[in-house]
Amino acid sequence: MLDLVSNDQPLLVAEGLGKNYGRFAACRDVSFELYSGEVLAIVGESGSGKSTLLQLLSAQMAPSAGRVSYRMRDGVTRDLATMGEAERRFLFRTDWGFVHQDPAMGLRMAVSAGANVGERLMAVGQNHYGKIRQTASSWLERVEISPDRIDDAPRTYSGGMRQRLQIARNLVTEPRLVFMDEPTGGLDVSVQARLLDMMRSLVSELGLSAIVVTHDLAVARLLSHRVMVMQGGRVIETGLTDQVLDDPREPYTQLLVSSILPA
Amino acid sequence: MTPMIELRNAEKTFVMHLQDGIRLPVVRSVSFDVAPGECVVLSGPSGAGKSSILKMIFGNYRCDAGSIGVRHHGDIVDIASAEPRQVLNVRRDTIGYVSQFLRAVPRVAAIDVVGEPLLAAGIARDEARGRAGALLKRLNIPERLWMLPPSTFSGGEQQRVNIARGFISDLPILLLDEPTASLDGANRAVVVELVAEKKRAGVAMVAIVHDDEVRHLIADRLVDVASFAAAA
């Protein structure tokens, strides 16, 4: 359930974030706050810096400038840069999820679907085989994968099933924040619609916060509350998703919006 | 009575960067109030900016100047300057919008499309479905369609699903953008009845209605949008 009122402390804060590769600035001076239950879309064409920004936000890459703070489950807000590697990894395995465009990067392709989901549960201390299998099986059902396929490895799955399995693997530990990098990227249009619809209901049922990088404005419209438009490493426009898409103000945003082919 | 909506000198201009930065002034000095239980109908020729005003009140279009005060949980929120999450709160608890067209969500059953605003307000699924079904029935959507996604419905059926979705909640403000546009007489009469019920419940409404008969039946007051024409 979307509850934006009761939470007055942001979940994640980015302040003056930047990343340089040599003299090239991939991302500069990005600041925003993400509140619990909010879904933020980062849109822009390839090379606009959105994937770099996602890497910085999820502490997979150290920024050249600025910082990211995250409110931990105990309510204390921590600067990610001051956390130890072990602490960051634990956060990544439990309270965060990361959905890659290519499911092969987020899954272990040679082990069973059940083990892929169960592995994250073991990371949070569950060790009862029967319970883990039961939870894994109910998550497969939630992402519309027949529990009959629990013992099959994802390399035997279709692209859409792999992506749904990756989502199940991420959500099983009930993370509070999920990062998604072009989650519908490599999929057929019909498969995309099903996945989007499923993600939309999961996000609202679980009250998840999410940061979704996409070049597809339809994905942003369907999933996100707010949107940030990036161009040349900078955030050039930000606001409510329907406002930015229906009343775009910046020249580049107007170009993006007008480039959508009518359905 | 304290108004639910207070517009003061609201202004909107579109700047079309892809057309050499041409400026399209839409409206200027938009000022009017809407009291609880009142239905204000915006009048004026097509292109005068009626829909733009409705979208500005909902926060869908940005407001370039002036203010749009909306009473939300007893406080006044200025939609023109509110943060996105504040606007989302206002939309969840205070302002509903009934547009002409349903933005169809793939795979969601009609009855759940209609009941969704109740779920968002924390009402249990069974009750939400019960109320959604009752409203669909009133709007003459046959029961055999309730479990189907409305993307396969006819235009008129989709519009009625959308109307049901807009009228189901107990929000204190409703914005109606041509709610009767492609409806037959029987369904138009149902919408007129629904508006009357909302008035009795103290809901403040702003509507755009082209049908003279419906306008006559629901309008408590007309606001002529032509008087807000922005001189180019």
Tell me how close the Cα of A184 comes to any Cα of chain B, in angstroms.
Answer: 15
Contact residues on chain A for B60, CB-CB shorter than 8 A:
240, 242-243, 246-247
- Using a 10 angstrom Cβ sphere, with 0-12 exposed, 13-18 middle and 19 or more buried, the burial of residue A109 is middle
State which H helix or E strand residue B56 sits in: helix B50-58
Contact residues on chain A for B61, CB-CB shorter than 8 A:
243, 246-247
Closest Cα partner for B36 from B6, B77, B79? B6
- Nearest Cβ partner for B18 among A1, A240, A254: A254
Extract the tokens encoding B59: 């926060």
- Its sign, for the CA torsion B114, B115, B119, B125, is negative
pLDDT at A29: 96
**CB-based contact, A189 to chain B, within 8 Å:** no
Q: Under an 8 A CB cutoff, do A35 and B85 touch?
A: yes
Q: Under an 8 A CB cutoff, do A243 and B106 touch?
A: no
pLDDT at A1: 39
In this structure, are strands A177-181 and A96-99 parallel, antiparallel, or unpaired?
A: parallel
Cα–Cα distances in Å, from B151 out to B107, B108, B205?
8, 9, 28
Contact residues on chain A for B120, CB-CB shorter than 8 A:
1-2
Closest Cα partner for A98 from A189, A208, A230? A208
Q: Under an 8 A CB cutoff, do B88 and A35 touch?
A: no
**CB-based contact, A259 to chain B, within 8 Å:** no
Contact residues on chain A for B109, CB-CB shorter than 8 A:
none
Closest Cα partner for B48 from B209, B227, B219, B194? B227
Confidence of residue B225 (pLDDT cuts 50, 70, 90): very high
Contact residues on chain B for A38, CB-CB shorter than 8 A:
85
A40-49, B41-50, B69-78: range with highest mean pLDDT: B69-78
Residue for token pair 């008129």 = B156
Tell me how close the Cα of A128 comes to any Cα of chain B, in angstroms.
Answer: 33
pLDDT tens for chain A, 263 residues: list them.
344 444 578 999 999 999 999 889 999 999 999 999 999 999 998 889 999 999 999 999 999 999 999 999 989 999 999 999 898 988 988 899 999 999 999 999 999 999 999 999 998 888 899 999 999 999 999 999 999 999 999 999 999 999 999 999 999 999 999 999 999 887 887 788 788 888 888 888 888 999 999 988 989 998 999 999 999 999 999 999 999 999 999 999 999 998 876 55
Q: Under an 8 A CB cutoff, do B107 and A200 touch?
A: no
- Nearest Cβ partner for A254 among B17, B87, B92: B17
Tell me how close the Cα of A119 comes to any Cα of chain B, in angstroms.
Answer: 31
**DSSP per-residue letters across chain A:** ----SS--S-SEEEEEEEEEETTEEEEEEEEEEE-TT-EEEEE--TTSSHHHHHHHHTTSS--SEEEEEEE-TTS-EEEGGGS-HHHHHHHHHHTEEEE-SSHHHHS-TTS-HHHHHHHHHHHTT---HHHHHHHHHHHHHHTT--GGGTTS-GGGS-HHHHHHHHHHHHHTT--SEEEEESTTTTS-HHHHHHHHHHHHHHHHHHT-EEEEEES-HHHHHHH-SEEEEEETTEEEEEEEHHHHHHS--SHHHHHHHHTSPP-
Q: Is the pLDDT of residue B34 over 80?
A: yes
- Nearest Cβ partner for B88 among A4, A193, A250: A4
Distance, in Å, from the CA atom of B165 to the CA atom of B79, rounded to the nearest integer, reads: 23
**CB-based contact, B230 to chain A, within 8 Å:** no
What is the reported pTM? Answer: 0.91
Q: Is the pLDDT of residue B129 over 80?
A: yes
Extract the tokens encoding B136: 């669909």
Please tell me the least confidently modeled range out of B105-114, B123-132, B171-180.
Answer: B105-114
pLDDT at A263: 52
pLDDT at A5: 43
**CB-based contact, B122 to chain A, within 8 Å:** yes
**CB-based contact, A79 to chain B, within 8 Å:** no
- Nearest Cβ partner for B85 among A4, A246, A249: A4
Q: Under an 8 A CB cutoff, do B60 and A243 touch?
A: yes
**CB-based contact, B120 to chain A, within 8 Å:** yes
pLDDT at A2: 45
State which H helix or E strand residue B206 sits in: strand B204-208
pLDDT at B230: 73
pLDDT tens across B87-121, in order? Answer: 999 999 999 998 877 666 677 899 999 998 898 88
Q: Under an 8 A CB cutoff, do A246 and B61 touch?
A: yes
Q: Is the pLDDT of residue B206 over 80?
A: yes
Distance, in Å, from the CA atom of A165 to the CA atom of A140, rounded to the nearest integer, reads: 7
Extract the tokens encoding A136: 């894994």
pLDDT at B105: 67
Tell me how close the Cα of B200 comes to any Cα of chain A, in angstroms.
Answer: 29
**How many other β-carbons are positioned within 10 Å of the β-carbon of residue B108?**
17
Tell me how close the Cα of A24 comes to any Cα of chain B, in angstroms.
Answer: 28
User: Mean pLDDT, to the nearest integer, of B64-91?
Assistant: 96
Extract the tokens encoding B183: 């409806």
Closest Cα partner for B205 from B194, B123, B85, B213? B194
Amino acid residing at B139: L
Tell me how close the Cα of A2 comes to any Cα of chain B, in angstroms.
Answer: 7
Which residue on chain A is closest to B104 by alpha carbon? A222
Contact residues on chain A for B18, CB-CB shorter than 8 A:
251, 254-255, 258
What's the farthest any 2 CA atoms get from each other in chain B?
Answer: 54
pLDDT at A6: 46
Contact residues on chain B for A199, CB-CB shorter than 8 A:
none
**CB-based contact, A239 to chain B, within 8 Å:** yes
Q: Under an 8 A CB cutoff, do B59 and A226 touch?
A: no
**CB-based contact, B151 to chain A, within 8 Å:** no
Residue for token pair 């024409």 = B229
pLDDT at B231: 61
Which residue on chain B is closest to A195 by alpha carbon? B106
Contact residues on chain B for A254, CB-CB shorter than 8 A:
16-18
pLDDT at A261: 63
Instruction: Give the list of residues 6+ apart from residue A24 with CB closer than 8 angstroms, or none.
Output: none
Contact residues on chain A for B75, CB-CB shorter than 8 A:
none
